[in-house]
Structure 1
Amino acid sequence: MGDVISTHLDEGKREMITARTAQVMREFGRVYKQQYAVALFNSVRFDIEGAAGPQSQLLHRKDPLEDRSIFSGSLFQYLEETRKWRNRFVFVANTYNICLYESKMAHERGLHTKSTINCAGYKALTSMEEYLEVVNASLPGVKGKVGSGPLLKCATEFPLILWHPYARHHYFCVLTEKEQQKWHAVLQDCVRHSNNGLLEECRVQTPAFTDAVRLYRQAQGHYGTWEMMCGAPPQILANLVMETLHPELRSLIGPRLKGKMQQKQRNWMLISEVVYKQVLTQTQAQYKALVQACEVDTPRLDAALRTDMDQIITSKEHVSNKIRALVLPKAEQLLRSSVQPYISSILESLMEPISRGFSEVRDVFFKELVEFSRNTLNGEGEAKLGEHMEKISMLAFHPVKMQCCYEKVEQLNLEGLQQRFDVFSPSVFVQRAQILMREQMDNAVYTFEQLLCQILEAQDQGGEGLCKTIERCQDRVLKKYDYDSSTVRKKFFREALLQIIIPYMLKQLAPSCYPELPRFQELIFADFSQFILVKNVFEEVVLQSVSKDIMMAVKEAAVQRKHNLYRDSMILSNSDPNLHLLGNNPSVDWASQFGGGHDEPEGLLREGGGNSRKRRQVVSMIQLDEMGPLAYESCLEVPGVDQIPEEGEIEEEGEVKHKEPQPSVEPKASKGPETEHRMIAEPQTPTEPLGSPKSPDSVGEIRFLINPVVEMVAPSSQTEAVQSNGTGLKMEQLTLEQGEEVALITTVVEEVHRKSPHRKSTTQEMVRQLVETGSQERAKAAIVEEEGQAAITKIKKQDLGVRGTECAVDTDAELDPSLADSSLLRHDDSGFQSPTNEALDEAQPIMGALQRKDTVADSAELLVALEQKNTALSNDSETGENFTAKTAEYDTEIVSDI
């Protein structure tokens, strides 16, 4: 790796990268200082005039994730340095940064992380095909096919990849599809939150930064939306530098890369990562210095603004009228010909998926409260109130539960409009809508919490009373959610239309209007020139020209029922002033006030850095949903990958060999003087498809999936009965082939005359053949041919229903009841046994069960069958003995018993 970097990124290129970054930061810094003064003017004017929009009906939580973490669990991570897969413990704090630890114990002890991932600008992918597609696009001229060999071999078939156009890529994988879906939801939530990094509360720095980035890109000829406007300001500035620097380096270094296709792609990604780190380090330092310089000058600017605010506003209006006279005729002509015909179609493309997403948020909130009411009505009452409300309180930040809402918005499609209006990608609007959906969900949950807590503190109610209280609070909150979601959506539609239309109009008007703008600067006093910029006034005029049409389009859409929007006149002021008195209350700690939090849950994990305080986890660990916790999750074995040997594979080769699945195993037997106990396990075809395995609970279960081992022990009561006859039991282990499961385990006790080793070995072979083929007639012939008189005696006793000759495993402890009840129909070891079941009152002959499911063999038919057997066995070819005389006495016993 070092050779590649030193070869293609020599000292000259590094100096060129530093110089290019410094140049971009100087130009951006000049624009930022101008926009900082303008943003400060707008902020002070807003404070003085006090203009405000419709007031929210729902309460807003100040710090929803206080003392919370999002998710934690174990993943397999691919390490670029060693090209090996290693198990890592992943912890996602409330900052949405992904922290990777060596093990869970290392995290709990507060040790340093192996690495930390800030997900701003990343995309979460779930297949190598998607990943290879974006990788091929990053290096033109070096194409790769899906089947020609990937960049890396995934340890499992469920990968998770974090892709960034400039930074390092991160590769993970999990064992099951369910884990992949949950982790993908978590990673997407981390990306979504990180991309929304600019705080709206900063009413000066945030608009100054966004306007400066937009104006700088417009000066470079880029007018449309920008997908890489994500993350913290230094990251956005690094993306701004890489937007022009990356293609230049690619054309310079790409043709000089050597090796195969995959090697060229790896080398280019490595070079891109090093360049991005260098640029990011430089932008962080220079942006920090820029902000500090502006903050030092803020008191002087603020004093000048508050002293001359009236004169500044008057001067700005005068200049605006002059510019409006120049721009408005051209803007209106462009609006009528190229914009108005498309406003309704753009709005329809936006409104349908966004409205479905907000409607899904309402449905998820409603379903959670209905489930809460049902649990309360079933008798739990306040005993489980704290536990249920703890889950509901974090509903908005549960990536898995909110995924169905986010997926509705991801269906947004602006195809056909993107090229015309220079919309790079709809992901900008998708992620913004998803953030608003999460905010509205949290506002609804927080309002419900405050209302319910107020009522519970005022009066003590039982089960039905509590259920009615929950329903009243639920209806009250849902009405407020309908109003707020309508207001938020209309605001979002207006902003989205402006983000699509205004850049297009500015691009069309710039050639004819920009040359005329400098002469308007002379109309502004020198003292006010830093607060009034001609280019900003020009954009405001263009915005005003199109705002009226956008407002009318949104109002017309609000009348349509399908979008579930309300007219603005219906939301004039707060309709519930008493409710907003609760807005100053802190979040309710349901676990401590109403129970359910006395026992420390498994999800409580320490924050990194050795802090002893613990956090409640929003999303439970994957292992806690439907299975017990992983006992040794930090020591999970990485699945083997061809051509990527793990450390120590060569030394442990001898140990691995004996763990391989055996093709077939012959059942062993522990024999007494006159009896033999055979442990027989019947493999069952898996009922679930092999393509959807379940996640194992521990290392032992992972190994069991590779080499299934079944331990069988007879019940204690039957064990004592057998031992009283002088026989012994022995615990056996059977290794099944991969994919097989045990359906039924039986212990067969039968009398075997000790004649010769040959007879014993052939008996074992007969049992094995019997298990494999399951043929009744062949089993009869084999037993008669091998066992002689002892086999005939056993046939008569078992056909008479002699009980106690076979003992079954306790179905309550070992097997599913449905398997135990159907075992008589499916499990036929020999064709002549009469298996008994402790759950049945009477023994049923196995031959009758095979022929008729719900009938019992007739006594006359049984007698005829025995006579036919005696005739067939009258002459034995192997021994030459006549068995007719020996079996005559048993015929008399059969007739008398029947």
Structure 2
Amino acid sequence: MGDVISSNLDEGKRDMITARTSAVMAEFGRFYEQQYAVALFNSVRYEIEGGGNTQTQLLHRKEPLKNKSIFSGSLFQYLEESKKWRSRFLYVGDSYNISLFESKAAHDRGLHSKGVINCAGYRALTSMEEYLGLLNNSLGDTKAKSSSAPFLKCPTQFPLILWHPYARHYYFCVMMEKEQKKWHAVFQDCVRHSNNGLSEECKVATPAFTDALRLYRQANGHYGTWDMMCGNQAQILANLVMETLHPELKNLIVPRLKGKLQQRQKDWMLISDAVYRQVLSQTKTQHEALAQVCEMERPRLDSTLRTDMDQIITSKEHVSGKIRALVLPRIEQLVRSKVQPYIHSILEALMEPTSRGFSEVREILFRELVEVSKNTMNDSSREKLGEHMDKISMLAFHPVKMQSCYEKMEALNLEGLQQRCDVSSPSVFIQRAQILMREQMDNAVHTFEQLVHQSLDGHSGEDLCKTIQHCQDRVLKKYDYDSSTVRKKFFREALLQIIIPYMLKQLSPSCSPDLPKFKELIFEDFSRFILVENIFEEAVLQSVSKDIMMAVKEAAVQRRHNLYRDSMVLTNSDPNLHLLGENTIDWAGQLGGVKGEKQGGDKTNRKRKQIVSMIHLDGMPLPYESCQEVPGVDGIPEEYEGQEGQDLESEKPVNPLQHVPIEKVPGSPDSINEIRDLINPVLEVVEKDSSQLTNGISPFEEGDEVKHITTVTEIVSREPPKKVDRELDTKQIEQSLEEQQCVSAIESAIQQIEIAIQEDPGEHLSQGAIDSEGEFAQTSTNSSPLRHDDSGFQSPANENVEEVEPRPDTGDEVVDAEQVMFTLVEGVKTSIDFDAKAPCDAPQKKAQVETTAAGCLL
């Protein structure tokens, strides 16, 4: 590996890469310094003059992912160093960076990771065919075919590949399709979050960077959207350098590579990754130095702006009037002929998938809130409410549950615009809309949490259910309004991103040569804050904004898009709502919901609550047990009740005394033994100690007459809990088998009793009582103290009895008891009623045997 890189990237080529990067950064730095002063002017002016956006109805959360992690689990990774597949534990924290660990134990011990993947600029793939297509295109080899075999073979049918046009590729695989879908959703969310753009909280640095980048690309003939504006500033600048450097190096190096196609593809990826890392290191250092210089100069610029703001604004308006008078006729002609006819078609292409995506967000939100209401109605305890609220709080950041919303936006098709308006691909708009969906879902859930939390005091039972439903209705109405506002803003911004670059590309050849002469109208002290290039773009923006606004308003009238008119809600309809808190509510801590591990210390990274739940493979050895659960992690299930593909739950602990699972959740049989037990249930017969059943009554003696015999059978089943999906069939099988066994045991008991009475009632019955008493005294040593007799008393002296001596039969004693219980057959208790006044050896005796099998049936 090292030989390939060192032989193709010698010192001369590395110096060329350094020089090219420095040249790009120097030119970009010139634009950045100019735009930094303009951005500072706009920021201070906005602060002084004031201005407001539309008041939102939903609340916003500052730190939604505090003490949370997205996902973690084990899968297989292909290691290029050893050319083998190895099991790896992946952890996705709140930063959406993927950390690679040797094992789950290494993560739990807090060891350093084997590597961290920043997903900016990557694409998550699930098929080798798609990966080979991208790989062949990046190599630019005419001999490459889409059906060519890759340089590695995936051991399973479910690969996961992270592809980057310049950086290293990562190869993973899992054992099941369900795992692949879940990991793919997580990887896509990591890519989406990393590509979200720069922080909008930086009111000066972010606008300065984006405007400088756009002007730099326009100066080099690149108008329109750019797919590789991904990640932080250093990554974006590295992509900017590689945009022109990568093709040049490919033309120099690829023809010199030797070997088969697969080997050349592998070598070129290693070389490209080495170049990208070198460029990234250089852009990071130089951008930090550039930003530091501008920040040091900011106090002086800020002082000048606040002192001469009125004069600067007046000077800018004067120059703007002159420029608009020159270019406005050309702009209007272009708008009428080549822009207006296409605005509605572009807007329609944007609105269809976007509206479906936001409607899906509302549907999922409604379904989850209704589920909370139902659960509260069934169990209105505060602990259960805290558990349900803790689960729903992270709904917006659940990649699997939000996947159906994101997929609606994937249908966006801008094929006709890619050539006409220089739109490279719709991915920029797709990812932006998906981020807005996630934000609106989080705002709605957070508002619902705050409303429910505010209404908890003094409400319980049915009142709490009604309160939750009322909060649900309020949140849905607020979501409808906010989602309409957000969509209309998204449509306007998307249309501007599509149309403005096209218009600038058409107008620049004729208008740009006339702009430098207007610099003479600007005072030198104000030249840092007033740039004629920016004024020209503002004129183009203002000219087409009116048509775009009119098109969006007309679309809002159509009911199928579910948009509100701008005049319907002018101010915030619920001002008291914004007085509530902005932080995440700890439902587990306040209401005793989900019990998680304590946060704090240096180990909070692995003790965070996990949003996406794990997958458990039943009966599979540890190396293949993907997506293992992290200790202290409480996730919310992805699938709804009743759907296919529900996660397997871990088995409940078994009670060693009764041999039955404790609180087993109904489900399908998990093993062959359970299926056999359902077909042939095993019955366990429980023996009772007759010494514990006398209750102080002596066994019957001679002279007593048997009057009544009752047989009661007690059966303890060892079968597993009944399963919901086969309850009817199993119940019939169990009844028929248990009836047969009970009848057999009862008939045997009756026969023995009749034989004993007919032969010698006095002798045999007395001896039977003695033998039965001695037998049960021995059996009681192994019986459980939790089992009680039918008399309602449990003598402590009978516990742990080892041996009971048999009492001799005198034949003269008269028993005063009215009832004696003894067992003739295992599992069958026989009750004999006799008259104490009648001698047991009387010639006339009446014996009545009554068998009761009610306890044997279910």
Which residue in the other structure is 1:437 paired with?
437
Aligned residue among 537, 540, 561 for 1:539: 537
Aligned residue among 734, 737, 740 for 1:838: 737
- Residues 189/599 of structure 1: CA separation in 2 closer, same or farther (3 Å cut): closer
Aligned residue among 622, 647, 653 for 2:615: 622
- Residues 111/323 of structure 1: CA separation in 2 closer, same or farther (3 Å cut): same
Superposition pairs of residues 70-219 of structure 1, within 5 angstroms: 70-219=70-219
Query: Is 1:197–1:232's contact at 8 Å kept on the other side of the alignment?
Result: yes
Query: Is 1:87–1:637's contact at 8 Å kept on the other side of the alignment?
Result: no
Which residue in the other structure is 1:427 paired with?
427
**Offset, 1:105:** 1.3
Which residue in the other structure is 1:18 paired with?
18
Deviations 1:806-863 (A, max 9, x none): xxx97647999959959999xxxxxxxxx997356499xxxxxxxxxxxxxxxxxxxx
* TM-score of the pair, normalised by structure 1: 0.71
Deviations 1:159-207 (A, max 9, x none): 1111000010011111111111111111111100001140011110000
Aligned residue among 461, 479, 498 for 2:477: 479
In the comparison of the two structures, how many residue pairs are matched?
672
Corresponding letter in the other structure for 2:77: Q
Which residue in the other structure is 2:44 paired with?
44
Deviations 1:748-804 (A, max 9, x none): xxxxxxxxxxxxxxxxxxxxxxxxxxxxxxxxxxxxxxxxxxxxxxxxxxxxxxxxx
Deviations 1:686-726 (A, max 9, x none): xxxxxx9999999xxxxxxxxxxxxxxxx99xxxxxxxxxx
Which residue in the other structure is 2:502 paired with?
504
Query: Is 2:357–2:409's contact at 8 Å kept on the other side of the alignment?
Result: yes
Query: Is 1:136–1:143's contact at 8 Å kept on the other side of the alignment?
Result: no
| Alignment partners' CA distance in 2, 1:230 and 1:414 | 21
Corresponding letter in the other structure for 2:261: M
Confirm whether residue 232 of structure 1 aligns to residue 131 of structure 2.
Answer: no
Deviations 1:23-54 (A, max 9, x none): 00000001000000000000000001111121
Query: Is 1:606–1:612's contact at 8 Å kept on the other side of the alignment?
Result: no
| Alignment partners' CA distance in 1, 2:200 and 2:359 | 25
Q: Which secondary structure does the structure 1 equivalent of 2:567 belong to?
A: helix
- Residues 216/376 of structure 1: CA separation in 2 closer, same or farther (3 Å cut): same
Deviations 1:215-246 (A, max 9, x none): 00001100010000110000000000000000
Corresponding letter in the other structure for 2:411: Q
Corresponding letter in the other structure for 1:618: I
| Alignment partners' CA distance in 1, 2:646 and 2:64 | 34
Deviations 1:566-621 (A, max 9, x none): 11122322111111111x45321100111223354xxx9999x7558831111122
Q: Which secondary structure does the structure 2 equivalent of 1:89 belong to?
A: strand
Which residue in the other structure is 2:796 paired with?
none
Query: Is 2:59–2:582's contact at 8 Å kept on the other side of the alignment?
Result: no
Q: Which secondary structure does the structure 1 equivalent of 2:416 belong to?
A: coil
**Offset, 1:144:** 3.7
**Offset, 1:460:** 3.0
* TM-score of the pair, normalised by structure 2: 0.74
Deviations 1:226-272 (A, max 9, x none): 00011000000000000000001011111111110111110111100
| Alignment partners' CA distance in 2, 1:322 and 1:120 | 43
| Alignment partners' CA distance in 2, 1:389 and 1:817 | 29
Q: Which secondary structure does the structure 1 equivalent of 2:64 belong to?
A: coil
**Offset, 1:636:** 3.9
| Alignment partners' CA distance in 2, 1:814 and 1:555 | 60
Aligned residue among 441, 463, 466 for 2:464: 466
Structure 2, unpaired ranges of 5+ = 627-643, 651-657, 660-670, 681-716, 743-858
| Alignment partners' CA distance in 2, 1:290 and 1:66 | 32
Corresponding letter in the other structure for 1:521: K
| Alignment partners' CA distance in 1, 2:209 and 2:320 | 23
Which residue in the other structure is 1:704 paired with?
none
Query: Is 2:319–2:521's contact at 8 Å kept on the other side of the alignment?
Result: yes
Which residue in the other structure is 1:551 paired with?
549
Corresponding letter in the other structure for 2:101: Y
Q: Calculate percent identity across the aligned residue pairs.
A: 69
Superposition pairs of residues 443-842 of structure 1, within 5 angstroms: 443-457=443-457, 459-462=458-461, 464-582=462-580, 584-598=581-595, 600=597, 610-611=603-604, 614-623=607-616, 633=622, 635-636=623-624, 744=676, 812=720, 818=726, 838-839=737-738, 841=740
Which residue in the other structure is 2:310 paired with?
310
Corresponding letter in the other structure for 1:838: L
Q: Which secondary structure does the structure 2 equivalent of 1:105 belong to?
A: helix
- Residues 259/814 of structure 1: CA separation in 2 closer, same or farther (3 Å cut): farther
- Residues 215/637 of structure 1: CA separation in 2 closer, same or farther (3 Å cut): same
Corresponding letter in the other structure for 1:571: V
**Offset, 1:742:** 9.9
- Residues 327/36 of structure 1: CA separation in 2 closer, same or farther (3 Å cut): same
- Residues 613/187 of structure 1: CA separation in 2 closer, same or farther (3 Å cut): closer
Query: Is 1:385–1:595's contact at 8 Å kept on the other side of the alignment?
Result: no
| Alignment partners' CA distance in 1, 2:384 and 2:285 | 52
Corresponding letter in the other structure for 2:530: I
| Alignment partners' CA distance in 1, 2:648 and 2:9 | 46
| Alignment partners' CA distance in 1, 2:116 and 2:720 | 49
| Alignment partners' CA distance in 2, 1:340 and 1:537 | 23
- Residues 32/741 of structure 1: CA separation in 2 closer, same or farther (3 Å cut): farther
| Alignment partners' CA distance in 2, 1:589 and 1:622 | 26
Corresponding letter in the other structure for 2:323: I
- Residues 415/14 of structure 1: CA separation in 2 closer, same or farther (3 Å cut): same
| Alignment partners' CA distance in 1, 2:151 and 2:431 | 29
| Alignment partners' CA distance in 2, 1:552 and 1:77 | 53
- Residues 605/575 of structure 1: CA separation in 2 closer, same or farther (3 Å cut): closer
Q: Which secondary structure does the structure 2 equivalent of 1:153 belong to?
A: coil
Query: Is 1:119–1:190's contact at 8 Å kept on the other side of the alignment?
Result: yes
**Offset, 1:148:** 3.5
| Alignment partners' CA distance in 2, 1:167 and 1:606 | 36
| Alignment partners' CA distance in 2, 1:605 and 1:6 | 47
Q: Which secondary structure does the structure 1 equivalent of 2:538 belong to?
A: helix
Query: Is 1:387–1:597's contact at 8 Å kept on the other side of the alignment?
Result: yes
**Offset, 1:156:** 1.0
Corresponding letter in the other structure for 2:149: G
Which residue in the other structure is 1:393 paired with?
393
Corresponding letter in the other structure for 1:615: R
- Residues 9/442 of structure 1: CA separation in 2 closer, same or farther (3 Å cut): same
**Offset, 1:430:** 0.6
| Alignment partners' CA distance in 2, 1:199 and 1:554 | 27
**Offset, 1:378:** 1.5
Deviations 1:268-307 (A, max 9, x none): 1110000000000000000000000000000000000011
Deviations 1:494-516 (A, max 9, x none): 00000000000000001101111
Superposition pairs of residues 847-866 of structure 1, within 5 angstroms: none
Query: Is 1:72–1:90's contact at 8 Å kept on the other side of the alignment?
Result: yes
- Residues 696/599 of structure 1: CA separation in 2 closer, same or farther (3 Å cut): closer
